């Protein structure tokens, strides 16, 4: 491809709207353009990268026996009513009506469609396991689309669904996908971690996420460098100190004027935050009209993990309670809430609190707290005790007790053991060898294609631009002649370019009448792994080969350069794929 003809509207300046490195470089190097909030066009350079990632995914899915198909984005609402997710999925589901007033969803995921398809078209155990996948556009009306294609409202996903005859089979399919995902992300050049994850709206019990460590990631993960435990913070837990065995003292009311936060309380009483109990009040909303007020309590040095709390309650939404709602359960109002004597609230207490003795809690009376409260004895009988705490940097690993790290990550892939959640809801059965009807045992496995591309940029860049790994680079090499008006340089560059094309190398030639600085900058920001520069050394019959990543430059004679380029490409691809 000739750069003079290439449609890559590059930008000299950092665009104001872009907050992350990947978003900045995707706009500046002309990979994508925004059409509307969370909706992007993939320009030629960006789309080449996307297709390469898709092909790596395809190869790895096919290697595990996956079969590619293509399902519609438009999905009848009845399917979603049947699975029960029409309401559960919430406002992220894009809904619309056709001219006959039939309701549809624009698919955010395809469990309903695939389960129906397999239910209606397969009867026997003989075809199992079935691993069906597609690479297709998804729609999610994200509350906060941001970071360019990283959190978009329309994006490409690879989604594979496994159908097995039993749990053992599902586990085998799951392990195969786990393995394939590791290979895919490695082949994309990513440094990633696999973490235990919450299953969210997709459902099921076991799931893992593939996380790329990056400060700009929206997810948080906790991991242990000693034993390898790693979990999304949504699900992570920690090892608690053993129960205290101090002498239980008598409850004492203390005057704490205007002392509303845990920090203020700990300072005021000159105690550690971990000697206090933190309270947060929520409005929990269930399907239908049902709702209630929930008061949740954790040790003062923790925060509440709202995902764990939501899963425990089985509610659809958990909103912060309003002031009136707080006043309806405690006359003391916010800041003085304690578990003793609350009215009409579901009380949920974290396990950490139950191991403490003589702690400080709100008195449910304005400007007062209670000292020397002993949870085992003094807390209400009808409370729920559970793990609802959010672990933090330094929390002890649940497996080995070593202090854990908490870091940010980008979720690029997510795999789930679904079990029979969808096959039961949608009555998808097969006949086993005894002619007995059985529910399919399913799994589902997703990768965000553009998000993977963005994650690579987050990890592999410098201040000049993107540094693509050879495996997904839009082009392997760019040929630049320094002085276009120099006929010998121009001709040599053209000859090298044609020879590379003949060898099947993906090559660009910068044949624009621009200064060398502009051309070098564009090649750098685009992240082309190799650059052949035809310039001053041509007088000696030599050209330069420059590696984008290391900045290393080697001189080759004009006769050798094509072989050298081919070898360099092969070497890097083999290294990544090995």
**Cα 110 from Cα 442, distance rounded (Å):** 13
Residue 165 or residue 414: which is nearer to ligand ATP going by CB?
414
Nearer to ligand ATP, 38 or 529 (CB): 38
What is the binding site for ligand ATP (CB under 6 A)?
109, 140, 142, 151-152, 155, 157, 200, 202, 411-414, 446-448, 451
Minimum Å gap between C-beta 446 and ligand ATP is: 3
The CB-of-89 to ligand ATP minimum distance in angstroms stands at 11
Q: How far is the CB of 372 from ligand ATP (least distance, A)?
A: 43
Helix/strand/coil for 354:
helix
Instruction: Output the six-digit token pair for 232.
Output: 């999304």
CB nearer to ligand ATP: give 310 or 451. 451
- CA atoms within 13 A of residue 57's CA, in its CB half-sphere: 26
Pick from 503, 478, 505, 506: nearest CA to 493: 478
Q: Cβ-closest residue to ligand ATP?
A: 448
The CB-of-556 to ligand ATP minimum distance in angstroms stands at 41
Q: What is the residue-wise DSSP string for 521-555?
A: HHHHHHT-SEEEEESGGGGGTEEEEEETTT--EEE
169 membership: H or E segment, kind and range: helix 167-187
Residue 15 is encoded by which pair of tokens? 């665009």
Contacts of 229 (CB under 8 A, 6+ apart): 223, 397, 398, 399, 400, 404
Least separation in angstroms between residue 145's CB and ligand ATP is: 7
Query: Nearer to ligand ATP by C-beta: 104 or 139?
Result: 139
* CB nearer to ligand ATP: pick between 454 and 562: 454
Peptide bond into 134 cis (omega under 30): no
Collapsing DSSP states into helix, strand and coil, what is residue 400?
Answer: coil
365 exposure class (CB count in 10 Å sphere: 0-12, 13-18, 19+): middle
Structure-token pair, residue 468: 């693509």
The nearer residue to ligand ATP, 202 or 480, going by C-beta atoms, is 202
Nearer to ligand ATP, 414 or 461 (CB): 414
In angstroms, the CA 441 to CA 436 distance is: 15
Nearest distance in Å: CB 234, ligand ATP: 9
- Say which residues have a Cβ less than 8 Å from residue 502's Cβ, sequence separation at least 6: none
> Given the structure tokens 């199992």, which residue do they identify?
128
Q: How far is the CB of 40 from ligand ATP (least distance, A)?
A: 10
CB of residue 54 vs ligand ATP: minimum separation in angstroms?
13
Distance CA 243, CA 475 (A): 61
Residue 518 contacts residue 505 (beta carbons within 8 Å) = no
| Cα gap 101→272, rounded to integer Å | 61
For ligand ATP, the closer CB: 152 or 349: 152
Nearer to ligand ATP, 89 or 297 (CB): 89
Rg over CA atoms, the chain: 29
The least CB distance from residue 175 to ligand ATP, in Å, is 18
Number of Cβ within 10 Å of residue 301's Cβ equals 17
């Amino acid at each position: 491809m000739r750069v003079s003809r290439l449609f890559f509207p590059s930008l000299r300046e950092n665009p104001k709207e872009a907050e992350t490195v990947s978003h900045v470089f995707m706009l500046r190097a002309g990979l994508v353009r925004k059409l509307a909030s969370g909706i992007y066009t993939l320009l030629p350079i960006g789309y080449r990268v996307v297709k390469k990632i898709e092909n790596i995914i395809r190869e790895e899915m096919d290697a595990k026996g996956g079969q590619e198909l293509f399902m519609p984005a438009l999905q009848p609402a009845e399917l979603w009513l049947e699975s029960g997710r029409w309401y559960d999925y919430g406002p992220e589901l894009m809904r619309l009506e056709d001219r006959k007033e039939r309701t549809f969803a624009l698919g955010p995921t395809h469990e309903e469609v695939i389960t129906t398809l397999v239910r209606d078209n397969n009867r026997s155990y003989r075809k199992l396991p079935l691993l069906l996948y597609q690479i297709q556009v998804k729609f999610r009306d994200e509350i906060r689309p941001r970071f360019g294609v990283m959190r978009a409202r329309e994006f490409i996903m690879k989604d594979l669904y496994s159908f097995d005859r039993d749990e053992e089979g599902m586990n085998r399919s799951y392990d195969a996908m786990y393995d394939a995902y590791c290979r895919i992300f490695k082949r994309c050049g990513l440094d990633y971690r696999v973490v235990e994850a919450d299953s969210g709206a997709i459902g099921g019990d076991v799931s893992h996420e593939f996380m790329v460590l990056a400060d700009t990631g929206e997810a948080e993960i906790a991991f242990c460098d000693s034993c390898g435990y790693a979990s999304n913070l949504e699900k992570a837990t920690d090892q608690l100190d053993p129960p205290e065995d101090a002498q239980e003292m008598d409850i004492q009311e203390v005057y704490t004027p205007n002392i509303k936060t845990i920090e203020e309380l700990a300072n005021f009483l000159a105690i550690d935050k971990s000697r206090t109990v933190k309270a947060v009040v929520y409005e929990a909303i269930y399907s239908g009209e049902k709702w209630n007020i929930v008061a949740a309590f954790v040790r003062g040095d923790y925060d509440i993990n709202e995902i764990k709390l939501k899963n425990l309650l089985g509610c659809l939404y958990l909103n912060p309670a309003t002031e009136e709602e707080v006043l309806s359960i405690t006359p003391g109002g916010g800041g003085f809430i304690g578990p003793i004597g609350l009215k009409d609230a579901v009380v949920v207490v974290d396990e950490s609190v139950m191991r403490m003795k003589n702690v400080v809690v709100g008195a449910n009376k304005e400007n007062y707290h209670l000292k020397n409260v002993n949870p085992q004895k003094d807390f209400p009988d009808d409370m729920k005790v559970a793990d609802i705490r959010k672990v933090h940097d330094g929390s002890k690993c649940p497996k080995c007790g070593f202090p854990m790290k908490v870091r940010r990550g980008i979720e690029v892939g997510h795999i789930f053991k679904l079990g029979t959640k969808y096959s039961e809801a949608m009555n998808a059965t097969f006949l086993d060898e005894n002619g007995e009807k059985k529910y399919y045992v399913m799994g589902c496995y997703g990768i965000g294609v553009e998000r993977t591309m963005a994650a690579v940029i987050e990890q592999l860049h410098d201040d000049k631009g993107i540094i693509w790994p050879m495996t997904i680079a839009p082009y392997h090499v760019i040929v630049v002649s320094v002085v276009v008006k120099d006929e010998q340089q121009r001709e040599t560059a053209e000859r090298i370019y044609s020879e590379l094309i003949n060898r099947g190398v993906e090559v660009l030639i910068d044949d624009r009448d621009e200064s060398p600085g502009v051309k070098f900058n564009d090649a750098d920001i685009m992240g082309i792994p190799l650059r052949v520069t035809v310039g001053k050394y041509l007088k000696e019959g030599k050209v330069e080969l420059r590696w984008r990543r290391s900045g290393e430059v080697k001189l080759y004679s004009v006769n050798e350069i094509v072989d050298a380029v081919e070898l360099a490409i092969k070497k890097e691809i083999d290294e990544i794929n090995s």
